[in-house]
Structure 1
């Protein structure tokens, strides 16, 4: 197939994924964030939405506002740097358009319930027949296979079914969900890893593949030692509050103006802490002089924890960080406002800005992956609904203006 000459907006960028074309059919978070990461890293990502039923996250708060016009900051953060195409995939013409786009794409991302794309006649097998090198990333609650695959799922589904919810909270109390959508976000990250591995294989062999990532699987893989604790010792993980299951000291401690995390649990770090806080004799105390002794719950509660509490009680977070932060793991517990305004956050470019004109400037989190030769470009606006239809259809599918006009008149785009 002779592909059209790409429109400049579809041409290779300066990023490390320069030249990779991604069709993002996903909604809300797990899929959109995965596609957003690829866009930050240089891929050309085309956000495909149903014109009658767009991504519901366009209605999520917070909002940039200009009079009656508003734009979701949530949507902006997770869809930055993408081109926008409205396309009705329930329409036969819409299906045909997507197939034409797939012919020139490298990767497709979707997070529908398994079976949805097949019902539309757009399964991986159908699209792979059109483009054998296509990498197809499918993110779902329970995965594409297994007896639970057709169940509906949200982030909390993954937290519940994957075990992490049962482990979070305080001892003796009801479990507490993790305060961010870790089921979605972990699936995004595993999805990107899988997609990049599959892209490398496709580039080497011309063979694409299905990348199947489940939120529940992703959560299970985030449970640290809980699985082996159970399989080796029969121990079922339970809420530990701010403490670690067995590493001590390694938790939250109060100070004069808030809380700090303190984690000087190794012998070397413990000795350094004892010196810094004026109790060097505690490092050589025969009851406290080894890590294994300090790990003992009874010794910890009776001797270690009271000592640490006394060290911190009359000092502020800033004083503690100045005294010990460069030597031992001691960090102030900051709220998100403090994090955003922290100079170190700016130094790492972890808050970036996108200018939405009259609506204002959206400040959002940046890109944590720092590449020295091909830096990411996260400081970009998100697409308006169907904003780049002409560019995408002409530049990737080779449609002329007349054909695009017919599709628009028919309500396909």
Structure 2
């Protein structure tokens, strides 16, 4: 593609109502579904990229069927889907049809990034492998998210979030010591893989901008979850110690966990000698910091001492106060935080000050959703647009980026290609 072609492409993409942000001018083809992939491309869209969500015309992203729903009987839309697909444009392509494949190839020529989360080998079977697409656009960054990655003996296995939690070791570590392991209470495998994919994609994009050569970004849920296991790997490789569920305990610091109070629970992590002395003084018993049984961090870590001396002391102190009162007392002196429900988090003034609950349009209403945790000092006020309906932007995107005429658009729709 020469300079004149670049200018023409830029003009066409500007016509697609570019978003503002540091990724303005970057075009992303998002052929992912559910969360491991849509979350990654949502981050790009929030940061200003033009993200084009590609769905099958007859089988759109089934996350559209996930509750909660907003709207009336005539229009029920998924807030779950909207949260991960806001700020995107939407088209439909049947990638099993010749016309659908041809259209994707045309779009690839104008794109910077393609993100897919099919099982490895699927795009090859469709004739849309990276090797094929890079012939059309050598600068293309091709990001592939899967359960086990594109290489290795397990690469072709189907996977879900729970697969990543199980195969990555995290599931075996979570829960209580006297009970079976418990999955982490969110789709941490999908989310972690999406975050790593976003980091890898931006690194590859910078390389492509410098060299003119794109590459594959290969991210697996198992790999991503493995990196979330904190000290478990080195505990095993260094000492052959296998991490197991600890409940709310920590493997090498105490007190550091959940403690009851008057109206719920708080996290308290004042395990250092400095924080312990401040805590004792704060609760009116400064002499406890000099108690020879619990006066050092090493002594307080001892399990028997922690259970028989430290824990009862903290529970006695905390039992007289509510979560809010304890947070007020702690201030910026000691690490103590209320263990909040989602309702309390959404209503938290600090969360509001950080703009972490944002209003996103859906079915004629504004619904609060999590915002973007990446705060850039040079960024202006961020706006949030609704998620697209299936194929909502077919006419505009395909006419501008694939030179499809109105007559051709009608034919493609009638044939089921879009």
- For Structure 1 versus Structure 2, the TM-score category normalised by the shorter chain is over 0.9
Could you tell me which of 354, 376, 380 is aligned with 1:371?
Answer: 376
How far the C-alpha of 1:304 sits from its partner, in A, is: 1.2
The equivalences for 1:12-411 within 5 A come to 12-358=18-364, 360-375=365-380, 377=382, 379-411=384-416
CA pair 199-7 structure 1, distance change in 2 beyond 3 A = closer
Residue deviations 1:46-97 (CA, integer Å, cap 9, x gap):
0000001110101010001222320000100000000000111000011000
Secondary structure, in 3 states, of the residue corresponding to 2:395?
helix
Separation (CA, whole Å) in 2 of partners of 1:374 and 1:6: 24
RMSD: 1.4
Structure 1 range deviating more: 13-22 or 93-102? 13-22
How far the C-alpha of 1:405 sits from its partner, in A, is: 2.8
Q: Which runs of 4+ in 1 moved over 3 A?
A: 375-378
How far the C-alpha of 1:217 sits from its partner, in A, is: 0.3
Secondary structure, in 3 states, of the residue corresponding to 1:383?
coil
Contact kept, 8 Å, 1:141 with 1:215, in 2: the verdict is yes
CA pair 217-378 structure 1, distance change in 2 beyond 3 A = farther
Separation (CA, whole Å) in 2 of partners of 1:361 and 1:374: 23
Secondary structure, in 3 states, of the residue corresponding to 1:109?
strand
Separation (CA, whole Å) in 1 of partners of 2:392 and 2:205: 28
Secondary structure, in 3 states, of the residue corresponding to 2:22?
coil
Secondary structure, in 3 states, of the residue corresponding to 2:52?
strand
Separation (CA, whole Å) in 2 of partners of 1:57 and 1:177: 21
In structure 2, the gaps of 5 or more residues are: none
Separation (CA, whole Å) in 2 of partners of 1:73 and 1:181: 17
Residue deviations 1:142-161 (CA, integer Å, cap 9, x gap):
00000000000000001111
Contact kept, 8 Å, 2:29 with 2:54, in 1: the verdict is yes
Secondary structure, in 3 states, of the residue corresponding to 2:37?
helix
Aligned residue pairs total 412
Contact kept, 8 Å, 1:85 with 1:389, in 2: the verdict is yes
In structure 1, the gaps of 5 or more residues are: none
Separation (CA, whole Å) in 2 of partners of 1:309 and 1:13: 51
How far the C-alpha of 1:164 sits from its partner, in A, is: 0.4
Contact kept, 8 Å, 1:266 with 1:291, in 2: the verdict is yes
Residue deviations 1:211-249 (CA, integer Å, cap 9, x gap):
000000000011000000000011101111111122101
How far the C-alpha of 1:338 sits from its partner, in A, is: 1.1
Separation (CA, whole Å) in 1 of partners of 2:383 and 2:218: 26
Output the TM-score relative to the length of structure 2. Answer: 0.96
